[in-house]
Amino acid sequence: MLSLGSLACVAIGGAAGGLGRWGLKQWPGGHLGTWVANMLACALLGALSAATPSSSSLLFLLAGTGGAGALSTWSTLAAEWGALLTGRHYRRLGAEVIASLAGGIAAAALGGWAAGALLPAL
Q: Which pLDDT belongs to residue 25?
A: 86
Asked if residue 2 belongs to a domain, the reply is no
Annotated binding site: 69, 72
Residue 62: DSSP 8-state: I
Q: Which pLDDT belongs to residue 122?
A: 54
Give the separation between CA 83 and CA 76, rounded to whole angstroms: 11
Asked if residue 48 belongs to a domain, the reply is yes
Asked if residue 38 belongs to a domain, the reply is yes
Which of 19, 24, 22, 17 has the alpha carbon at shortest distance from 44?
Answer: 17
Annotated binding site for Na(+): 69, 72
pLDDT tens by residue, the chain, 122 residues? 679 999 999 999 999 999 999 999 888 877 999 999 999 999 999 999 998 877 778 999 999 999 999 999 999 999 999 999 999 999 999 999 999 999 999 999 999 999 988 887 65
Total count of domains within the chain: 1
Assess contact for 100 and 49: CB atoms under 8 A.
Answer: no
Asked if residue 1 belongs to a domain, the reply is no
Residue 119: DSSP 8-state: G
Position 43: which residue type? Answer: A
Query: What does pTM read for this prediction?
Result: 0.89
Q: Which pLDDT belongs to residue 21?
A: 92
Which of 46, 34, 50 has the alpha carbon at shortest distance from 106?
Answer: 46
Asked if residue 82 belongs to a domain, the reply is yes
Instruction: Based on DSSP, count helices (H) and strands (E) in the chain, helices before strands.
Output: 6, 0
pLDDT tens digits, 37-61: 999 999 999 999 998 877 778 999 9
Asked if residue 74 belongs to a domain, the reply is yes
Residue 1: DSSP 8-state: -
List of E strands, the chain: none
Find the domain containing 103 and state its range.
9-116
